[in-house]
Structure 1
Amino acid sequence: MDSSSSSDDDLLILLHNMDKRAREERRRKYWVHPLNKKRGELGEFHILVQELKLYHGRFKTYFRMSVGQFEALLQELAPSLKKHRNNFREPIDPEQRLAVCLRFLSTGDSFTTIAASFRLGISTVAKIVRETCKAIWEELKETHMPCPTQALWKKTAQRFQEEWNFPNCIGALDGKHIVIQAPPNTGSQFFNYKGTFSVVLLALVDADYRFLAVDVGGFGSNSDGGIFANSNLGKGLQSGELDVPPPSLLPSASELGPVPYVVVADEAFPMKPYLLRPYPGRHLSEDKKVFNYRLSRARRIVENAFGILTQRWRVYCRRLQVCPEVADSIIKATCILNNYLHPAEGGQGHGVEQEEAVEESFLAPIQNLRGNRASAEALQVRDTLKKYFVSPAGALSWQNRHVQRGLAV
């Protein structure tokens, strides 16, 4: 036998044995780390969280919800969060699982930091967050983000007319990039125009900052318009399968005829009979500028909703260091939680007098998007609403003042 081949075989055996010993050393030495065995005595859940229940203001700051809201949420989620006991360790109870998940969402702290505070394993915290976010979405979506009905669309349109003076509007639409850690082996799919890696939250919001529908998981490299076209919401509106009410007359303007119910959006989206964007161009007539102001005033609700989402759940202030699938679950959970918490907010969040609620983005020049040829029907819908907004029936006393102020800037 060749001595060189024999030495190669010996080397392979040696490397194999070294790898085997390394794997054995990495094996779990115990089911529960000695530090974590003191969870009941020193863990954050068993000490601080229980004390916070006596101080409701501090509790709400800590978890972004009141004690009553936490208890009600726990009652809904407990069956899906409960784990069976095994022979090696006690399961983490549903209340502590919910506390860990909400603490992660409200702070954005790393799994390592939360694991140290709650005396849990890092992988245990990661699993709790993943499973609890999924349970939040599955258990709450039917009651707090149901599939819209014709009655819901009409109620939404009524609220847009009452609060933001935009008739026949069934929602404000926009996309938000959620920054994530670059996923492996995905190339430039998640790389966006801002130079970061992201997934896109596409949201339709009502007049009171509730999420009516969300589409999560679009690649950061895709445009908002492209994501909308491929979403269930976009396909449903295009096909007419979402039970949107038939066209109706505008208030006190029967001479303009029936007008379709519409979604308002910015220039990133295409013009459709059911989807309106501002007039493009630099040198617009007075009535077109009034329309852009009125549309922008209604559309800014979705931007405000994103702001509320980010301020309440500080996890969005940091890069999500999870895989895209878990990021999707986190985003959906926070959106549904915003709807869950909304009634207790007492309508807070407007914070601006109606006559002074100005969106200045209508002043910026809006350029045409190549490859986006609006249909004649869509243009007619926009022109009809433009006429309404400058007519005695639909004009607002302050709209010209805001437009003129914009012209002077």
Structure 2
Amino acid sequence: MSKGEEGEDKGDGGHDHGLVLKDDAVLVCQAIIDEYVDGVMPFPSTMDDWKRIAEGFMEKWNFPHALGALDGKHVAYKCPPGSGSTYFNYKKFYSIVLLALVDSDYKFICADIGGRGAASDAQLWNASDLKSAIEDGDLDLPDAEPLPHDTEDIPYFYIGDDAFGLRTFMQKPYGHRALALEERIFNYRLSRARRVVENAFGILSNKFQVLMSTMQHHPSTIRLIVTTRLVLHNLMRTRYPRLQNRPVDHEGRNQEIVPGEWRNGRQMRDCQVVQGPNRDNREEKKVRNTLKHWINSEAGSVPWQHDMI
């Protein structure tokens, strides 16, 4: 879903300031990507591919019709001369942004690597190829179907936090002011499913500490480094799933969230949450309200959800 390469790095006059990986290291990174990316990080190309992702969210996280969880993190690096403030983020350091879509098993589905640090999650999402493809109808997404044990057709969608605008294809929590019980339960259930993307970033940065450093390379080289780490992450998730589950959040005996080991160390920084104007329309709100009612009904409730509020 990358648009990070378009018009890249014009702020530094087109010069490759910053360190460049040695030729052999670049070749190794590219060889890893070429060898494994199609096998461990294939972009869903058919309706059945997307449905398998949604089935995973329903089976593991009791959340229906979810096609992936979306979030963004900063990757710190030494700013190239002449780039101005475009890479300077709200946390007061220079960075590029990794905006990623994650499945129910903490695997990366796709990623936009290279957004300038001053941009918010929402700005990067709005400029992404994935969002454009959704709006243009270029993806073979599943048709709207009823939720389990229900009759009303509901579209499939991605899930995000408050940074993203509510759309029929993007569901997010209700705002945090004077929420009714059913809305709080909906927020809990959505957040429970969305936590996979936080944990995926946690596993990634815990395993590859370079992502926690301030990289000295050109943004194009950083994209290569980060892409290689995403591919290796998915490869290890596939080959050693139990080992890779050790650092993630898990649920205790009473379904309470037990923080994963990765939260005890340094973490990748979140992008800025920018609240734009409220443009939610009736159809988008109807989808979320239908989900809310299903989650609070006999058809979609889970036994412990009231205890988590």
User: What range is the shorter-chain TM-score in?
Assistant: 0.7 to 0.9
Q: Does 1:395 align with 2:292?
A: no
Q: Tell me the secondary structure at the aligned position of residue 176 of structure 1.
A: strand
Aligned pairs (5 A) from 1:2-401 = 126-148=22-44, 149-254=46-151, 257-347=152-242, 348-349=244-245, 352-353=250-251, 356-358=255-257, 369-401=275-307
The corresponding residue for 2:9 is none
Aligned-partner Cα distance in 1 for 2:27–2:277: 42
Structure 1 residue 184, shift from structure 2 partner? 1.4
The corresponding residue for 1:3 is none
Root mean square deviation, CA, Å: 2.0
Distance 1:359 1:200, change over 3 A: farther
1:280/1:368 contact within 8 Å kept? no
For each residue in 1:323-380, what CA deviation from the matched residue of structure 2 results, as whole angstroms up to 9, or x when unmatched?
11101111111011111121221344156237525499xxxxxx99232411221111
1:293/1:359 contact within 8 Å kept? no
For each residue in 1:115-169, what CA deviation from the matched residue of structure 2 results, as whole angstroms up to 9, or x when unmatched?
xxxxxxx98x632223322332233222222221211111111110010000111
Aligned-partner Cα distance in 2 for 1:133–1:242: 29
2:249/2:258 contact within 8 Å kept? no
Q: Tell me the secondary structure at the aligned position of residue 99 of structure 2.
A: strand
For each residue in 1:205-230, what CA deviation from the matched residue of structure 2 results, as whole angstroms up to 9, or x when unmatched?
00000111111110001111111111
Aligned-partner Cα distance in 2 for 1:268–1:309: 22
Task: Report sequence identity in percent.
Answer: 38
Aligned-partner Cα distance in 2 for 1:269–1:170: 15
Q: Tell me the secondary structure at the aligned position of residue 202 of structure 1.
A: strand
Aligned-partner Cα distance in 2 for 1:346–1:262: 26
The corresponding residue for 1:74 is none
Distance 1:157 1:324, change over 3 A: same
Aligned-partner Cα distance in 2 for 1:340–1:232: 25
Distance 1:269 1:258, change over 3 A: same
Which amino acid in the other structure matches residue 255 of structure 2?
A: E
Distance 1:235 1:376, change over 3 A: same
Aligned-partner Cα distance in 2 for 1:368–1:189: 16
Distance 1:351 1:185, change over 3 A: closer
Which amino acid in the other structure matches residue 304 of structure 2?
A: W
The corresponding residue for 1:103 is none
Aligned-partner Cα distance in 2 for 1:198–1:190: 5
Q: Tell me the secondary structure at the aligned position of residue 68 of structure 2.
A: strand
2:250/2:258 contact within 8 Å kept? no
| Structure 1 runs, 4 residues or longer, greater than 4 Å off | none
2:40/2:235 contact within 8 Å kept? yes
Aligned-partner Cα distance in 1 for 2:169–2:84: 35
Which amino acid in the other structure matches residue 206 of structure 2?
A: Q
Which amino acid in the other structure matches residue 171 of structure 2?
A: L
The answer for unaligned runs of 5 or more in structure 1 is: 1-121, 361-366, 404-409
Aligned-partner Cα distance in 2 for 1:359–1:204: 23
Structure 1 residue 282, shift from structure 2 partner? 1.9
Aligned-partner Cα distance in 1 for 2:278–2:231: 33
Q: Tell me the secondary structure at the aligned position of residue 356 of structure 1.
A: coil
For each residue in 1:16-44, what CA deviation from the matched residue of structure 2 results, as whole angstroms up to 9, or x when unmatched?
xxxxxxxxxxxxxxxxxxxxxxxxxxxxx
Structure 1 residue 300, shift from structure 2 partner? 0.8
Aligned-partner Cα distance in 1 for 2:32–2:85: 31
Aligned-partner Cα distance in 1 for 2:144–2:98: 29
Structure 1 residue 281, shift from structure 2 partner? 3.1
1:296/1:359 contact within 8 Å kept? no
Aligned-partner Cα distance in 2 for 1:343–1:262: 25
The corresponding residue for 1:92 is none
Which amino acid in the other structure matches residue 137 of structure 1?
A: I
For each residue in 1:40-83, what CA deviation from the matched residue of structure 2 results, as whole angstroms up to 9, or x when unmatched?
xxxxxxxxxxxxxxxxxxxxxxxxxxxxxxxxxxxxxxxxxxxx
The TM-score, its normalising length taken from structure 1, stands at 0.64
Which amino acid in the other structure matches residue 307 of structure 2?
A: R
Q: Tell me the secondary structure at the aligned position of residue 145 of structure 2.
A: coil
The answer for unaligned runs of 5 or more in structure 2 is: 1-18, 260-272
Structure whose CA Rg is larger: 1
